[in-house]
Amino acid sequence: MEDAGIIIEQLLSGDRRAVARAISLVENESILSKEILKLVYGQTGKAYRVGITGPPGAGKSTLTNKLAKLYRMQGKKVGIIAVDPTSPFTGGALLGDRVRMGEVELDEGVFIRSMASRGSLGGLSKRAREAADILDAAGYDIVLMETVGVGQSELDIASAADTTLVVLVPESGDGIQAMKAGLMEIADFFVLNKADRPGAEQAVMSLKMILGFRAHDAESWMPEVVQTQASNGKGIEEVAAYIHRHRLFLEVNGALERRRKVRLEGRIRELIDEQLHFDFWTNERLSELHRTLELLLQRQSNPYDVAAGLIDDFRASNGKI
């Protein structure tokens, strides 16, 4: 039987195998996962988390690879959580991102973990935030969290990261399309990748025009648009500089602490929702639900009364009427 304490001890000493094992246990919701997460939490809070999102094909993995390489040149340890689409056959990650990160994969100062989205609508694996905690505790200075681009449900990356950058390409369409995709609200700044392609300047102007309509004042952060050609490394230093600039802005005005408080509140709410969901749906209540479905189809009852009845039963079983 594995011992969570031993895994944590090895993890804190920088043992990469222990880091990998801890993430696997958490991702698979092992009986040790809660104990591991409890033990690592006190060692977190040092890593800076950067969310990288955007539509498929924008070059997120290449950008992540180049950023990691740059941070390594600066002497920083880098953790990468690459959330891949879930395989419909195995439920595992397709691992495409690993293929595109060959430049840093063998670097001892870089830890790459591909995680399956497993149906998460926001493109961020359910356990990716816990994996970020493990990397944080293990001494990684920067955690890059790259998500599958799925459009309107990308809000969860913004709640998991300290700085969120949205990667677009000229072919992504105009700023209106980006705004419809829900990306305008979550970006701390934009990266227009493949900026050597036709239409790049028009795309930048369109984005800046849309950003100009956002409510802001002298005290608020105004997102910028950085042009890159990630495949050859052009513009990567500017991206890192903007991440640093945004971090300083958040630290100076106290917004980083506020963001992290909101993140913690959201996590606690999520944990409570999970536990209540588990406690609520007993076999008896599931059977009761199934018994009422025929009545609902025949319009002899309604969903609201059924839900109220199930909730009343839950309250009664917990001594609350």
> Per residue in 15-63, pLDDT tens?
999 999 999 999 888 999 999 999 999 999 999 999 998 888 889 999 9
Q: Are residues 77 and 28 in the same domain?
A: no
Question: Do 105 and 247 reside in the same domain of the chain?
Answer: yes
Instruction: Decide if 186 is inside a domain.
Output: yes
**What pLDDT does residue 292 have?**
95
The candidate with the shortest Cα–Cα distance to 51, out of 179, 149, 176, is 149
Report the pLDDT value the prediction gives residue 115, as an integer from 0 to 100: 84
In whole angstroms, give the CA distance from residue 247 to residue 270.
26
What percent of the chain stands above pLDDT 70?
A: 82
pLDDT tens for residues 252-273?
999 999 999 998 998 899 889 9
Q: Are residues 21 and 135 in the same domain?
A: no
| pLDDT, tens only, 160-182 | 899 999 999 988 665 545 555 56
Can you give the three-state secondary structure of 264-279, one letter per residue? HHHHHHHHHHHHHHHH
pLDDT, position 118: 55
Residue numbers of the chain with a pLDDT score lower than 70:
1, 84-103, 117-126, 148-155, 172-183, 215, 218, 320-321
pTM, full prediction:
0.86
State the helix-helix crossing angle for 128-137 and 4-12, rounded to 10 degrees: 60
In this structure, are 88 and 227 located in the same domain?
Answer: yes
Do 127 and 199 sit in the same domain of this protein? yes
Are 29 and 74 within one domain? no
The reply to whether 262 falls in a domain is no
285/233 same-domain check: no
Q: What is the pLDDT of residue 116?
A: 73
Which range of residues forms the domain containing residue 290?
281-317
Same domain, 148 and 207: yes
- Position 92 scores a pLDDT of 41
- Answer yes or no: is 1 within a domain: yes
Establish if 20 belongs to a structural domain: yes
Split into its structural domains, the chain has a count of 3
